[in-house]
Chain A
Amino acid sequence: MRAARVTPSLLPGFGPALGVTLLGLSLVVLAPLAALLATSLRGSPAAFLAAVTTPRVVAALRLSFLLSLGAAAFSALLGLLLSWVLVRYRFPGRRLLDALIDLPFALPTAVAGITLTTLYAPNGWLGAPLARLGVPVAFTPLGIGVALVFLGLPFTVRTLQPVLASLDAEVEDAAASLGAGRFEAVRRVLFPELLPPLLTGATLAFARGLGEYGSVVFISGNMPMKTEIAPLLVMTKLEQYDVAGATALATILLVASFALLLLLNRLEAWAAGGRR
């Protein structure tokens, strides 16, 4: 038996197809990313460390991580509500509701950005009443959070929906007939099944939020140390010809993306294993 076995061998075209795939992948994705890592490694480790530990960079990274995490958690909660209602209940307007979930996927981020900013600005439709309540949204971290929840919502809904639909409600009935209360049936029977897609959706939302630029940059106000997110700081540094600083921060973001991608693979394997 050969070690490197390609199955099946009856079909032609494996070599050329894999060749096109790997060539495209290398030229478009891997080589440019390698250029980033190479540029980042060209300097000394001390210089890299100094570039990513300035107070402004640390503040931007902390803001990006914390807000993305919070928004992912909130998107998960809303995703749970929306997917439950869309899968389990039948009511007028359900299909429209379901179709609208995809809006943040489809709407260009710059459009989302200027629209949310206009809505939540101190004189906006939603911003004005909120400001009167003493809750300014636009140009504060809360505004960034709103944009990230907007963006993260479809990820959690769309990962939960198929799993929830595949779960047989009869199982809950069985649990109920065996004496479990409704709450206990949900907690013991449903929750273990929903946990993997919930975590997968939240991780997807987190990964997207961490790197997001377009829908956040308008509403954030971009005050250094206060509302400056990491991707924007990369852009700012580049515009100020601080290529080394931009590259160092971008490397941190790239490594985080890669780690999240590996985590997602593990989560998917877990979900597949759990449901066989």
Chain B
Amino acid sequence: MKAPRSREPRAVRLLLIGLAFATIALFLLVPLAAVFVEAFRNGAGAWLSAVSDPDARHAVKLTLLVAAIAVPVNAVFGLAAGWALGKFRFPGRSLVLTLIDLPFAVSPIVAGLVFVLAFGRSSPLGGWLTRHGIEVVFAVPGIVLATVFVTFPFVARELVPLMQSQGTDEEEAARVLGAGFFTTFFRVTLPNVKWALLYGIVLCTARAVGEFGAVSVVSGHVRGVTNTLPLHVEALYNEYAFQGAFAAASLLTLVAFAAMLAKAFLSRHAGEEAP
């Protein structure tokens, strides 16, 4: 891309660039640096012992487990939504699209609260489940449900607009040539949207790993049992174990970094998929 000519005097241009650098440094770069400075304040040994502490290890495992359930569920839903809403027009379509976006607008605390209300012991469903020995709230299933809720739109909102803009010509050609639904979907549609799908999965994974508010409401904060990594960070911080909290936070920051890198890489490819 050719750099657009600039119409401002040089001094104005330099001033604006300087202001932009200052803003980013103050709001984004300094906090980023602070995470690692605080995490390594007492040296690499202290960092290592903080992240290999049994509670921290359990929190990492639980976080990975939750993401391993939430992300595939999200991908399957996103593909179904992409097919139904991207390839077809029908009455009520825009309402469905708005409802899919709803979890982005809802407060994470509200998202957590709804599951406490729906599955808590005072609700009929929760009471029935408790009598059958299944705990949802203040247990792992609740954490998974809350995570699926807050990540719900990620893959769908990448795939629906893309599949819509790609149209149905290629799929119709495949059908005319005798391909069945699965052949059409896996040989024609999926290869056309694979980068956008991966992009959505990356965003979904980052959010699933880092979700705090919704999970905080449903988890019950039992250390070594229902603490995910973000909740472990909070627990340590509230006990003034700052170095340990930042050590755990540095792991989450590395995940965020990986997601940002993957996102930058994938968005270039995903851009090529748009017709």
A interface residues, Cβ below 8 angstroms from B: 3-8, 10-14, 16-18, 20-22, 24-25, 28-33, 35-36, 39, 78, 81-82, 84-91, 93, 97, 99-104, 106-116, 118-119, 125-126, 149-150, 153, 169, 172-173, 176, 182, 207, 210-214, 218, 231-232, 234-235, 238, 243, 246-247, 250, 253-254, 257-258, 260-262, 265
Contact = CB atoms under 8 A, between A and B. Distances in A.
Given A82-B23, A214-B213, 17 more contacts: A12-B175, A18-B90, A20-B76, A21-B84, A22-B96, A32-B117, A89-B3, A108-B252, A111-B210, A111-B256, A112-B31, A114-B245, A211-B110, A213-B108, A234-B109, A246-B113, A257-B106
Interface stretch (B12-20, B42-50, B191-199): B12-20
Contact of A257 (B3, B107, B114, B242): B107
Nearest to A102: B260
Contact of A103 (B8, B32, B212, B231): B32
Contacts of B113: 36, 234, 238, 246-247, 250
A24 B31 contact: no
Of listed B76, B149, B249, residue having the most chain A CB within 10 A: B249
B85 to A, nearest CB: 7
Interface in B28-50: 28-32, 34-35, 38
Contacts of B35: 111, 115
Interface residues of B, number: 99
Nearest to A90: B3
Given A111-B249, A250-B109, A25 B100 contact: yes
B89 A6 contact: yes
B152 A29 contact: yes
Given A29-B99, A108-B210, A149 B117 contact: no
16 contacts: A8-B172, A10-B172, A11-B175, A88-B4, A90-B3, A106-B263, A111-B230, A114-B237, A115-B35, A115-B38, A126-B26, A150-B31, A153-B28, A169-B5, A211-B109, A238-B217
Interface string B62-105: 00000000000100110011011101111100101011111101
Of listed A90, A210, A214, residue having the most chain B CB within 10 A: A214
Contact of B209 (A82, A101, A108): A108
Nearest to A22: B96
Contacts, number: 295
Given A238-B116, A247-B117, A20 B109 contact: no
Of listed B102, B110, B122, residue having the most chain A CB within 10 A: B110
Contacts of B230: 108-111, 214
A109 B172 contact: no
The list of the 7 closest CB pairs from A to B, nearest first, reads A211-B107, A108-B210, A213-B213, A32-B114, A20-B80, A214-B212, A17-B84
Contact of B101 (A114, A173, A261): A261
Interface string B166-200: 00100110010000110011000000000000000
Given A4-B90, A85-B17, A108-B256, A125 B29 contact: no
A149 B7 contact: no
B91 A4 contact: yes
A106 B257 CA distance: 8
A30 B114 CA distance: 10
B211 to A, nearest CB: 7
Contacts of B145: 28
Contacts of B263: 102, 106
Interface string B228-270: 0011011001000010011001001101110110011000000
B123 interface: yes
A250 B111 CA distance: 9
Given A4-B91, A31-B118, A106-B206, A114 B84 contact: no
B128 interface: no
Contacts of B234: 110, 114
B216 interface: yes
Contact of A104 (B28, B81, B171, B249): B28
A210 B123 CA distance: 28
B256 A107 contact: yes
B248 to A, nearest CB: 9
A104 B122 CA distance: 37
Contacts of B123: 35
Given A28-B152, A234-B113, A109 B76 contact: no
Given A11-B168, A103-B32, A18 B107 contact: no
Nearest to B267: A102
B107 A213 contact: yes
A243 B122 contact: yes
B258 to A, nearest CB: 9
B109 A14 contact: no
